[in-house]
Each structure stands twice: as C-alpha cells, then as structure tokens.
C-alpha cells in the first residue's frame, strides 16, 4: 500500500525520515532507467526540489511545520505554470515558449504549504483525451500488468504514474472530462475532482474553461481532502469524518454507465455495491434518463470543442503540423460551432443540471463505475485511429457526466489486491464537496477492510 500524507508526516515528526531523504528516494525512482520516469516526467527539478526539502527539514527542526504537506514531494501536471520553467502542456507546440514568470495559483498554494515540487508530469497533449497517450514525449504505462504496457489514463497520465510508482507522494492534476479520475482508476489511486469553481486556476493552460477543474491524485480519501483544503484555501475546514453507515442513503446510477462494460468492471463494481449494502448502507438503483441525452447535446463537439478551438485557433493556423493529429482533429470540430450553438449549449446545460440535481435530491451521493473497462494496451490504441477514438469515447463517458453536471466526485479503488484496477466513482452536485469526501471516507473504510 502507498504511504499516506498523515503517515509520512508522523515519520518526519518522529525523525524516522527527512524531507531530503524522501525527495532523494523520489528522484532515484524517476531516474531509474528500468522504470517509467523518463515517460512520466517532461521536466525534473532535482536541485530546486532538494533545496526546498532542506528548507523544510530546517523549519521542522525549529518547530515549524507549515501544513500536513510540508516536506513531501508533489508532482505538477505540465499544464500549470511553475516559475522559471516552460509550461509545455504535453505539446511540442509550446516547447519554445518563455519560462513562466510566476507560479500558477494552485502551485503557489502548494509551495506555500511546504510541498516539494519535484517536476512537470507528462500528459495527453493539451489535455484533450482520456487515454494518456502522448506521441511527443512517450506514454508511461499503468502499474498493473506492466509487461503488457497498458494505458495510464489521461489526460493526467504522468500524474497518476508518478504517485503509483513512488516518484511523488501526491500529484496535482486537472479534470475537464475525467482527467483526474481516469488515471486514478487505472493506476489504483484515489483522485478528487472538486466543484470547478472551488480551486482557482490562474496560470493553468485551459482546455475548456466551463468544465476545467483542478484537484489531487493521492493514496487515500484523507490525502485528497488535505490537498483539497490547501488548493481551495479551505484549510481550516474540519477533516473528513465518515458518517454512520446506517444513516447513509446512496444511489447507483442505472442508466448508461454500465453500457459497454467488460466483465471485470461489472463484477468488481457489483461486488463493491454488495459489500456496502452488507455493511448497512441503504442503496437504491436510480434511473437518470438525462444521462442518455448528453451525447445528443454534445453531438457537434460540445463545450469542450468550442472552448478549446477558441484557445487554439491562432496556434493551429501556423503550427498545426506540430500537433498530435488525434488532438488537433478534435479541436477543429469547434470551428463549426457558432455563437448561437454555444449559447444554446449553456442553456441546455443549465436545464440538464437542474433535472439531474432534482433526481439526486435526498441522496448523499451517486455511485457509478469511474470507467466501464479495464485499461487497454498502449500498442492497440496507438495502432488504430478507430480503436483510439472508440476507447477514448467509452473511457471518458462516465466521468464527463459529472463535469457537465458541474459536480464533484471521488474515484476510489474498489478491486481486490492483485486484480485489474477498477475505480468506484462517488459523485454529487456542485458544492457538495465536503459531503462527498465524508461519504468517500466511509466507503473507503468498508472496501478497505478486506
């Protein structure tokens, strides 16, 4: 099992380890030629990280601990500005840009909390895919069945692998349609997508401003809650507390979310729900017909393509040959979405959100599989555009429902040890973040008691 932030802080407080020792160990894993480090990171800041670690150790020796994250190595997705470094966004298009003059808002909050920033992590180019494949900088494989080299999930691919492989204790990611939760599911981690407005995103290269969210990937629900408190500026909020199981009322989505699911996900998800019911949690199945409407609402490319095209149209004019064609082709769909279409999308979204929220009223959370299939191999998706786009649509489908809802969601591991990683999504409407973390903690305690 991966160490939690709380366990590592206890070890630092007892003098059993130091920030420098933890940072050196992370850097060694990144540099290991037999590992995934070269594909996981697009930049490693070894000297900067060790300087920050030494400063943390000095402050701790003087009795000053800035936060529960102080002295711990954290990786930063290559969408976030880090002062003195180029933000490539996983692309060759931006490799000649000037280094950032200042930290992005989320990075600044992590640094102020004492996090040791260890490097920029690889990602799908411009965050525009849920698979994690990057033809420019390579694709790290998920930790499961590594001999087969399976996709890590995206777009925060390097973020997930960096934590799963001990190259960082936690990772900073973004989630526009599942980009935190998908790699968490495929890498056996816990990931939290907060309500989009909860964490400021200044200094973050956008994909679609209406949907972009900033959040953590880590070892546990408590770890995600600690990181969320720092990122949102809500550090004074109480830690998550698991409600009494008998008081919980949860809903399992009965529409769309298991369509196309493989046997491993179906069986694992069903077993997880059975364990929760056996523990005394009331769980209803819930029809949500609005879920089946979303594909039609987004048939022209949706808010993602419209807003991504607005960001990229000038770069596409002169540098389209430097893009991954599987990314540029999707961005270019936004060219055909006019102002009337865009206005209508926002109106349809508002009505859709109201309808879904009405169905969820009275429930503490909605449960669904994070992704309906286990991770396919990198090779099979690189070899075929048809396979790539089919897998991308299926893998993004369930998480995207919660982004369009403007909701918040955890992805928790729900598989048995040694089996293919499967994520259980615990979701709620906008601004129910604290409740979702509480419910997630209760579920984690039940599912973790194997």
In CATH terms, are 5-232 and 245-447 the same topology? yes
Residue-level pLDDT at 235: 79
Residue-level pLDDT at 449: 59
Please name the helix (run of DSSP H) or strand (run of DSSP E) that holds residue 278, with its range, or none: helix 263-278
* Confidence tier at 13 by pLDDT (50, 70, 90): very high
Q: pLDDT tens digits, residue range 164-196? A: 999 999 999 999 999 999 999 999 999 999 999
Q: What residues are labeled active site? A: 77, 155, 179
Ranges 31-35, 112-116, 123-127, 314-318: which has the least confidence: 314-318
Mean pLDDT of the chain: 97
* pLDDT for 237 beyond 90: no
Q: What percent of the chain has pLDDT over 90?
A: 98
Domain chopping of the chain, boundaries: 5-232, 245-447
- Average pLDDT on 204-224 reads 98
DSSP string, 329-386: HHHGGGGG--HHHHHHHHHHHHHHHHHHHHHHTT-SEEEEESSSSPPPBHHHHHS-HH
Residue-level pLDDT at 450: 46
Q: Which CATH code fits 245-447?
A: 3.90.1300.10
CA proximity to 43, closest of 71, 78, 91, 83? 78
Residue-level pLDDT at 415: 97
- Average pLDDT on 116-125 reads 98
Q: Which CATH architecture has domain 5-232?
A: Alpha-Beta Complex (3.90)
- Average pLDDT on 212-223 reads 98
- Average pLDDT on 31-43 reads 98
CA proximity to 195, closest of 214, 170, 208? 214
Top pLDDT among 223 and 238 is at: 223
Q: pLDDT tens digits, residue range 347-401? A: 999 999 999 999 999 999 999 999 999 999 999 999 999 999 999 999 999 999 9
């Amino acid at each position: 099992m991966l160490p939690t932030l709380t366990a590592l802080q206890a070890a630092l407080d007892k003098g059993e380890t130091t920030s420098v020792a933890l940072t050196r160990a992370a850097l060694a894993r990144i540099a290991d030629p037999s590992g995934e480090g070269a594909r996981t990171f697009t930049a490693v800041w070894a000297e900067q990280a060790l300087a920050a670690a030494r400063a943390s150790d000095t402050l701790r020796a003087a009795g000053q601990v800035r936060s529960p994250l102080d002295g711990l190595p954290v990786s930063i997705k290559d969408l976030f500005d880090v002062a003195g470094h180029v933000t490539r966004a996983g692309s060759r298009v931006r490799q000649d840009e000037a280094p950032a003059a200042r930290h992005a808002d989320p990075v600044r909050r992590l640094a102020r909390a004492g996090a040791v920033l260890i490097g920029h992590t690889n990602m799908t180019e411009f965050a525009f895919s849920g698979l994690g494949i990057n033809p420019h900088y390579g694709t790290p494989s998920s930790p499961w069945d590594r001999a087969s080299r399976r996709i890590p999930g995206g777009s925060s691919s390097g973020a997930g692998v960096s934590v799963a492989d001990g190259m960082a204790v936690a990772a900073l990611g973004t989630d526009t349609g599942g980009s935190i939760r998908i790699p968490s599911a495929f890498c056996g981690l816990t990931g939290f997508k907060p309500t989009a407005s909860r964490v400021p995103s200044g200094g973050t290269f956008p994909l679609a401003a209406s949907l972009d969210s900033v959040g953590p990937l880590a070892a546990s629900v408590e770890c995600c809650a600690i990181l969320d408190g720092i990122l949102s500026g809500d550090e004074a909020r109480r830690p998550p507390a698991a409600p009494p199981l008998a008081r919980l009322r949860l809903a399992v989505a009965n529409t769309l979310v298991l369509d196309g699911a493989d046997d491993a996900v179906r069986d694992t998800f069903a077993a997880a729900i059975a364990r929760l019911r056996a523990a005394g949690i009331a769980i209803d199945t819930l029809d949500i017909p609005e879920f089946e409407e979303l594909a039609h609402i987004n048939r022209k490319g949706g808010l993602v393509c419209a807003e991504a095209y607005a960001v990229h149209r000038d770069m596409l004019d002169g540098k389209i040959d430097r893009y991954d064609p599987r990314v540029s082709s999707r961005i270019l769909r936004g060219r055909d979405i006019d102002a009337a279409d865009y206005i209508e999308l926002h109106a349809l979204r508002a009505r859709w959100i109201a309808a879904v929220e009405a169905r969820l009223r009275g429930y503490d959370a909605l449960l669904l599989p994070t992704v309906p299939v286990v991770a396919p191999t990198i090779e099979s998706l690189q070899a075929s555009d048809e396979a790539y786009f089919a897998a991308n649509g299926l893998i993004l489908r369930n998480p995207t429902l919660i982004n369009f809802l403007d909701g918040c969601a955890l992805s928790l591991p729900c598989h048995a040890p040694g089996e293919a990683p499967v994520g259980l999504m615990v979701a709620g409407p906008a601004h129910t973040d604290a409740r979702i973390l509480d419910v997630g903690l209760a579920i984690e305690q039940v599912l973790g008691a194997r």
